[in-house]
Amino acid sequence: MNKERIIEILNKAIEREIGAVFQYMGQHYRFPKDTHPIARELLERIAVDEMKHIEKFAKRIVELGGQESTTTGKVVWETDFESMLNADIAVEDEAISMYQEHIKICEEERDEKTKKIYEAILEDEIRHKKLFGLLKEIIKIEG
């Protein structure tokens, strides 16, 4: 196993997860409590999920003897709620394709442990994408 290669992909994943935390948490407090309570609540929960992903990736880096990145990946700010949710779906799409790619690298490097971490997190990202789609419908109903 090429440890350096695995540490490098894990750090790329961490950086985009940090960006996602900022994006979702920032939206959480921008959605007004009185008109969009469900969106507000769900955005906070998803932001916390992304924070837990950072923890899992970072723990593995430390286990492999590496140094975890604290660089923030891309954060997209939008002014209207529908555009915010579209930006979130784009973030999840990016994560899904990045992690599918990283799983292939884990297979090449015969790193079963890191692969399992990616597989579990990939399931979360697929679920997040569905939730953001659902939220788009909910904000239409909430008005």
Taking the C-alpha atoms of residue 128 and residue 116, their distance in angstroms, rounded to an integer, is: 19
28/128 with CB nearer Fe ion: 128
Exposure letters 53-62 (e unless 16+ CB within 10 A, then b): bbebbbebbe
47/139 with CB nearer Fe ion: 47
Q: Cβ neighbours of residue 112 under 8 Å, at least 6 residues apart?
A: 106
Provide the angle, in degrees to the nearest 10, between the axes of the packed helices 81-108 and 3-30: 170
15/125 with CB nearer Fe ion: 125
Taking the C-alpha atoms of residue 98 and residue 128, their distance in angstroms, rounded to an integer, is: 15
| Closest CB 125 distance from Fe ion, rounded Å | 4
Q: Cβ neighbours of residue 142 under 8 Å, at least 6 residues apart?
A: 35, 36, 38, 39
15/50 with CB nearer Fe ion: 50
| Closest CB 102 distance from Fe ion, rounded Å | 12
| Closest CB 143 distance from Fe ion, rounded Å | 26
| Closest CB 9 distance from Fe ion, rounded Å | 14
Which positions lie near Fe ion, rule CB under 5 A?
17, 50, 53, 125, 128
